[in-house]
A and B are shown apart, each in its own frame.
Chain A
Amino acid sequence: ETGVTQSPTHLIKTRGQQVTLRCSSQSGHNTVSWYQQALGQGPQFIFQYYREEENGRGNFPPRFSGLQFPNYSSELNVNALELDDSALYLCASSFEGFSTVEQYFGPGTRLTVT
């Protein structure tokens, strides 16, 4: 059973650029949630995908968008990058959209916007 993986590990972008982050969910999981974690703070919920549909969204602007593929892997896209987007981006996978107890986090992608 493979765990949650994310790529890339680290990324440096310039303000105004666009970025795509990727997440492969744990085997058997069909739900992926994305979080943004600024240094010294708790993760902030961005959105969740369940069976390829967005299943909830936090307080993030539309320039944060996502996709989930038939194999349940997922992408997070951020357009028009701002300096405040610098953070650790975590994805977490779980089974089912409504009855799961536990979600498993990937190692994260550290994004730096300069």
Chain B
Amino acid sequence: GQNIDQPTEMTATEGAIVQINCTYQTSGFNGLFWYQQHAGEAPTFLSYNVLDGLEEKGRFSSFLSRSKGYSYLLLKELQMKDSASYLCAVRDNYGQNFVFGPGTRLSVLP
């Protein structure tokens, strides 16, 4: 089966660092993606991991461990505009089928 788990909600303070975890069990694996989605808007691409390790992209970093079925998204120097839902998605081996997690709603407080 296909299953992706993320925390439902998280709260952090402006300027802080937050880590959003994602665990997955899928029938195939061809990459893990993180998307940001503001309320009422479409998801936008943040990061992609296909090999184990850390990918850094400005204030955002994403880590993958394929053996553990685990990823995290790290957001540094949090800003109010980072308040959004963060979606973890795994692309399986069958074409471009993306399996999305339920999303983590992050609230950044002043």
Task: A40-B103, A107-B42 given; name 12 further pairs at CB < 8 Å.
Answer: A4-B42, A33-B98, A40-B102, A43-B87, A43-B100, A45-B98, A45-B99, A48-B95, A56-B94, A56-B97, A97-B96, A106-B42
Complexed CA–CA distance, A14 and B95 (Å)? 34
A: interface residue count bin: 20 to 34
What 1/0 mask marks residues of chain B from 23 to 61 whose CB sits below 8 Å from any chain A CB? 000000001000000000111110010000000000000
B: interface residue count bin: 20 to 34
State the main secondary structure of chain B at its contact with A. loop
Specify which chain A residues have a CB less than 8 angstroms from the CB of B43 in the assembled complex.
Answer: 43, 90, 105
Known: A41-B102, A42-B87, A42-B101. A97 touches B45 (CB 8 A): no
**A residues lining the B interface (CB < 8 Å):** 4, 31, 33, 35, 40-45, 48, 50, 55-56, 58, 90, 94, 97-98, 100-108
Known: A50-B95, A55-B95. A103 touches B45 (CB 8 A): yes
Instruction: Give the residue of B89, B96, B100 whose beta carbon is less than 8 angstroms from that of A94.
Output: B96
